[in-house]
Structure 1
Amino acid sequence: MKVGLYFGSFNPIHIGHLIIANQLVENSDLDQVWFVVTPHNPFKKKSSLLDNHQRLEMVYLATKDYDKLQPCDIEFNLPQPNYTVNTLFHLKERHPKNEFSIIMGEDNLKSFNKWKNFQAILDDYHVYVYPRISEGTIETQFKNHPKITKVEAPIIELSSTLIRNSIKANKNVKPLLQQDVWKYLDEMNFYR
């Protein structure tokens, strides 16, 4: 089975994440997309993150009606901060029959050369890149690379930060979230 790994803190998961993942799984050779919930991104302040299991629950709620979209908590049991190359190793060990790929926004491709062991990742894994509006340029080594595929997908200018700030400001963000995620956030009084 071909599985695309969509990494993120998903704090919270929103309709933009679902649109991108669904677009990829329906318009590529991927059989499934797994949302890999990241416990702690070394580039983000940990204090702004909800508990790992609360964010995993939101991903579960958001994807439960989609057969091809799945939550994944593999990184919860890995030493922190964790790096993608380690996650890939553990997933391959746990699911040897699956063929894993990475899904990333074009903004991340622009800094991919700063990832730990990025060359080893490219040697063994395919990377699907969806369009994002961002500053900077893509390094020459990543342009026309045989393991990097740019995919057609809507450009989604929606962020979890915007949603958290809007909730804090008591604004209605219900249209930006899957219905069960919105109910869960509201009932738990998150981000207020």
Structure 2
Amino acid sequence: MRLPHAEPGNRIGLFGGSFNPPHSGHRTVAETALKRCDLDQVWWLVTPGNPLKEHGGLAPLEERVDAVRKLARHPRMKVTAFEALIGTTYSARLVARLLEIRPRLRFAWIMGADNLMTFHRWQSWRSILENVPLIVVDRPDASFAPLKSVAANAYAPYRWDESRATTLAGIAPPAWTFLHTRLDDTSSTALRAQRCGHATVVRQ
């Protein structure tokens, strides 16, 4: 649950999620942000549970952390369950806490484009955009609609063209960018459905 080590001034991408389970699409998002935004590290922040999702099929936290570690094998990708340590499942509170205890790091929040559609439903979502730059990475079936979302429209004047993405993590927020990349249509929902279907066959 401890935070990874980072040197003062490092540019850290915060990639939060339940990762239930983590998959190659998550890895694509993390790699794209790491490379295109010239980040020093990406921290995979495995949450105890997404407040906007049902938790009935949520795997244990330890199991998900181990799965993310196996997927995110990269010297500049780190995995932590820090949210559980500070007792929150809300990203805005997490960001505020990180800024408080690691004031010499430069943070940016990473999300897949599908999450931008519902970003305005997150608790205190504006405070995230006002405190750290936002990196949005393209996902299948989410290339155009997210750019018309509530959050995208509200912060349209602060959108940076992806050609300038390398400097995003080092500037004062609000600022955000949308990165186009190769698309991986793997999803946690589909993987869970496959597992359930397999389990049903085995029980028969």
Per the TM superposition, whether the score is higher than 0.5 is: yes
Verify: 1:165 aligned to 2:193, yes or no.
Answer: yes
Structure 1 residue runs of 4 or more that deviate by more than 4 Å after TM superposition: none
**Alpha-carbon offset, residue 73 of structure 1:** 1.1
Q: Distance in 2 between matches of 1:110 and 1:20?
A: 16
Give 1:66-105 correspondences, 5 Å limit. 66-80=74-88, 82-105=89-112
Letter in structure 1 aligned against 2:77:
L
Indicate if the aligned counterparts of 1:74 and 1:91 stay in contact, CA closer than 8 A. Answer: no
DSSP-derived class of the 1:71 partner? strand
DSSP-derived class of the 2:107 partner? strand
Verify: 1:111 aligned to 2:124, yes or no.
Answer: no
Q: Distance in 1 between matches of 2:195 and 2:29?
A: 23
| RMSD of Structure 2 on Structure 1 (CA) | 2.0
DSSP-derived class of the 2:45 partner? strand
Show CA shifts across 1:96-148 (max 9, x none).
Answer: 22111111122222322232222222222100011132456323223242401
Q: Distance in 1 between matches of 2:132 and 2:15?
A: 13
Instruction: Give unmatched runs, 5+ long, in structure 2.
Output: 1-9, 160-174, 200-204
DSSP-derived class of the 2:158 partner? coil
Aligned residue number for residue 5 of structure 2: none
Give 1:49-64 correspondences, 5 Å limit. 49-63=58-72
DSSP-derived class of the 1:102 partner? strand
Comparing 93-102 with 3-12, greater Cα deviation is found at 93-102
Q: Distance in 2 between matches of 1:112 and 1:94?
A: 25
DSSP-derived class of the 1:170 partner? helix
Aligned residue number for residue 8 of structure 1: 17
Q: Distance in 2 between matches of 1:67 and 1:89?
A: 26
**Alpha-carbon offset, residue 8 of structure 1:** 0.9
**Alpha-carbon offset, residue 57 of structure 1:** 1.1
DSSP-derived class of the 1:57 partner? helix
Instruction: Give unmatched runs, 5+ long, in structure 1.
Output: 172-192
Instruction: Number of aligned residue pairs: give it.
Output: 169
TM-score (norm 1): 0.79
Indicate if the aligned counterparts of 2:14 and 2:45 stay in contact, CA closer than 8 A. Answer: yes
Q: Distance in 1 between matches of 2:59 and 2:86?
A: 18
Letter in structure 2 aligned against 1:117:
S
Show CA shifts across 1:129-183 (max 9, x none).
Answer: 1113245632322324240111122222211121122123239xxxxxxxxxxxx
Aligned residue number for residue 138 of structure 1: 149
Q: Distance in 2 between matches of 1:84 and 1:130?
A: 18
Residue identity (%):
29
Aligned residue number for residue 183 of structure 2: 155
